[in-house]
Structure 1
Amino acid sequence: MIRWLPAELHCHTFHSDGKQSLLELAEAARSLGLEAVALTDHNTMTGLTGREEVTAATGVEVIPGLEWTTFFGHMLTLGITEYVDWRNLSPFHIHRGIEGVHRQGGLVGVAHPFRVGSPMCTGCFWEFEVSDWNEVDYVEVWSGLFPSIRRNNARAFALWTDLLNRGHRIAATSGRDWHVSDPVPEPVSATYLGLSAETQASAGLAGAALEALRRGRVAVSMGPRPELFLTTAEGHRCGLGDEVSLPAGGRPEATVTAGVDFTARAGHWELPGGTLQMRLMSNRGELASVALTRVRPQAELTLDMSGVAWLRGELTGVFCGAHTMIGFTNPVYVD
């Protein structure tokens, strides 16, 4: 059984350049229907003091993290217990830092890779040379408020797609880069992490969230949560981040279930239109598109999976006065 946890994975407090305490951050997250936040202050972990007390007071899980803030790019590090020094990282040696995070069982993600850099934001534009993208756990493809309409995010989304097409199995997330807990008029995106009950029982909520991100069991949305499943002719059902094997001979087909969970963060977003479109995208391009509504929140169709290496769903519709992508799933992978 998978539980979907709405989270914000890029947050700051006054321990770096934020204007909020950890308690204020968690209270604001709860008011937005979020159940977890990752504290990623710039180059410090001191803001995590009192983390357990904040979670107990608000019910919002605090995932420990840190944002390496360098002249050559910002990298999010999640799940670490000890500070990993980034100061010896040249543009050609990012993997030394990544190895230090992975030794602790943590995850690394590229933050806002195409945001305008210096002098507007020192190091915000990603310039590190990544020699092996398999070592990077995720890319923050949506950054900021109303992320789907930002040009820099379109470039980040295209980077992720290119990495998938090159055979890398890398997750994609959203990150508000949250600094102030004041109310905002623009829509907020959530990263949904699919938690297994077994992992949560053994590793706790934060551990299960990190494992979901590591596996690519992730969906992102400003509104309802998009869903995607793939079922083989033998009845094997796979979800986000899973790998499915299809027969090599003949015409490999699979049943694809595309859906929308309209209960996700209900009350924190509005949809004026009654119909949404789910585009089924792959390394072969768009394979199909299905219409989904509150009355018909799921659709099944049989697809020819010849040559498909990955499949994801992209949910589009009218949102906050714009026809835009509302959310997307991470891929199901095909062997």
Structure 2
Amino acid sequence: MSKKWLPYELHTHTYHSDGEHSLFELAQSAKEIGLFGIAMTDHNTMSPLLECDLVEQENHIHIVRGMEWTTFFGHMLIIGITDYVDWRDLGIRDIHVGIERVHRQDGIVGIAHPFRVGSPMCTGCFWEYEITNWHDVDYIEVWSYTLPSILTSNQRAYRMWTDLLNQGYRITGVCGRDWHISSKKTLEPVAVSYLQLGTQELSADKAVVEAIRTGAVSVTMGPLLLFTIKSAANGSDFGIGDEIPLPHLDLAWEATVALDMSERADHWHLDEQKFTIVLFGNLGVMEERVIAGPVYSVSFPFQTEGLTWLRAELLGVVANCRTMIAFTNPIYFQAANPAAI
């Protein structure tokens, strides 16, 4: 089955909670900025989804069913559920009980903005729930708000995600704008999560859930960042979110990182410049290359010894800041003797 990378916003609100727009207006704005879909994640309610089918038809945009648990101990995003899932009986040590309720509906859970300033500025925004098994967490919103890479709270979230990957947890990193207001009032760069979806399932919530669950996600404030690894010996190739099986690991490999400058090109702006591509994994920085147009692609050989995961990062200047512009989720490497976690 062929697959395609499609841009989604995974954290949105309407006036059914504390947003300023209706679901129709939100979908209309999302279409205007080149998004293929949005996750509807109002605070503690799924009521805007009562008009979901009509809004989808009129705006030709995919709306993923969800909500945001908004509590005193943290905010958790819920995506891909069919029925409301309650959280009000959960204490600070009970979050896994709630997660199990979501997973029973084949939905997924993600920690929203875990290090955003909490009370009294934003009640419950700072994550305090006790996680005893990180395998239960499907994704983390490592970038939140606009121009996200420069925010200290997001940098902490990105480091936490990296630490969890190093411990062997396969948790997906995404961005979420936490979209409350009209696009026309936002002047800063907006990041989006590109999901790799099968072309026969483009409007299926289950396809979005599976893409996030498996880590087939690339996040960017500009061009789509692509990352593949190919065996020089037998031509086997693997992409973002894939696992390279153990029998292949002794082969010689070539990594390719590329920028697709055409995706949503009318909705972001970067000055002409030289970009830096970084390959980063559990062993630290594996490769660093400078690329520039007209060919925004680079390939190089590398060895897999000692690697358990590897991702690509794009650095450059955006909004007069030298910062990270994009990152991919990892490609994973199967361990010979995986440690019990």
CA distance in 2, matches of 1:238, 1:197: 19
The corresponding residue for 1:234 is 234
Superposed CA offset, 1:13-69 (max 9, x none): 000111100011011111111111111000000011111111111111110100000
The corresponding residue for 1:193 is 195
**Where do residues 172-321 of structure 1 align in structure 2 (5 Å cutoff)?**
172-183=173-184, 184-200=186-202, 204-232=203-231, 233-247=233-247, 253-321=252-320
**Where do residues 60-79 of structure 1 align in structure 2 (5 Å cutoff)?**
60-79=61-80
The corresponding residue for 1:20 is 21
The amino acid that maps onto 1:193 is: L
Tell me by how many angstroms 1:196 deviates.
Answer: 1.5
Superposed CA offset, 1:107-136 (max 9, x none): 100000000001101100000111111111
The corresponding residue for 1:127 is 128
Q: Which moved more, 1:147-156 or 1:52-61?
A: 52-61
Tell me by how many angstroms 1:246 deviates.
Answer: 4.7
Superposed CA offset, 1:234-283 (max 9, x none): 3210111100025588x653111111111111111111133211100000
The corresponding residue for 2:331 is 332
Preserved contact between residue 273 and residue 317 of structure 1 (Cα < 8 Å): no
Tell me by how many angstroms 1:294 deviates.
Answer: 3.3
The corresponding residue for 1:145 is 146
CA distance in 2, matches of 1:150, 1:316: 15
CA distance in 2, matches of 1:88, 1:212: 30
The amino acid that maps onto 1:11 is: T
CA distance in 2, matches of 1:9, 1:123: 19
TM, length-normalised to structure 2: 0.94
CA distance in 1, matches of 2:32, 2:291: 28
CA change 1:280–1:182 in 2 (3 A) is closer
Preserved contact between residue 252 and residue 306 of structure 1 (Cα < 8 Å): no
Preserved contact between residue 141 and residue 157 of structure 1 (Cα < 8 Å): yes
CA distance in 2, matches of 1:198, 1:56: 18
The amino acid that maps onto 1:194 is: Q
The corresponding residue for 2:94 is 93
CA change 1:40–1:256 in 2 (3 A) is same
CA distance in 2, matches of 1:82, 1:97: 14
Tell me by how many angstroms 1:205 deviates.
Answer: 3.3
The amino acid that maps onto 1:306 is: E
Tell me by how many angstroms 1:227 deviates.
Answer: 0.5
The corresponding residue for 2:160 is 159
Preserved contact between residue 16 and residue 41 of structure 1 (Cα < 8 Å): yes
Preserved contact between residue 278 and residue 313 of structure 1 (Cα < 8 Å): yes
Q: Which runs of 5+ in 2 are unaligned?
A: 335-341
CA distance in 1, matches of 2:247, 2:204: 37
Preserved contact between residue 273 and residue 318 of structure 1 (Cα < 8 Å): no
TM, length-normalised to structure 1: 0.96
Superposed CA offset, 1:195-238 (max 9, x none): 023544xxx43322221111110000000011100112332101
Superposed CA offset, 1:145-177 (max 9, x none): 100110000000000000000000110100000
CA distance in 2, matches of 1:108, 1:171: 11
CA change 1:198–1:26 in 2 (3 A) is closer
CA distance in 2, matches of 1:245, 1:291: 30
**Where do residues 22-37 of structure 1 align in structure 2 (5 Å cutoff)?**
22-37=23-38
The amino acid that maps onto 2:199 is: A
The amino acid that maps onto 2:208 is: A
CA distance in 2, matches of 1:142, 1:295: 29
CA distance in 1, matches of 2:43, 2:275: 38
> What number of residue pairs does the alignment pair up?
331
Preserved contact between residue 309 and residue 334 of structure 1 (Cα < 8 Å): yes
Please provide the CA RMSD for this pair: 1.4
Preserved contact between residue 246 and residue 252 of structure 1 (Cα < 8 Å): no
The amino acid that maps onto 1:327 is: A
**Where do residues 40-51 of structure 1 align in structure 2 (5 Å cutoff)?**
40-51=41-52
CA change 1:248–1:174 in 2 (3 A) is closer
Tell me by how many angstroms 1:291 deviates.
Answer: 2.4
Preserved contact between residue 38 and residue 64 of structure 1 (Cα < 8 Å): yes
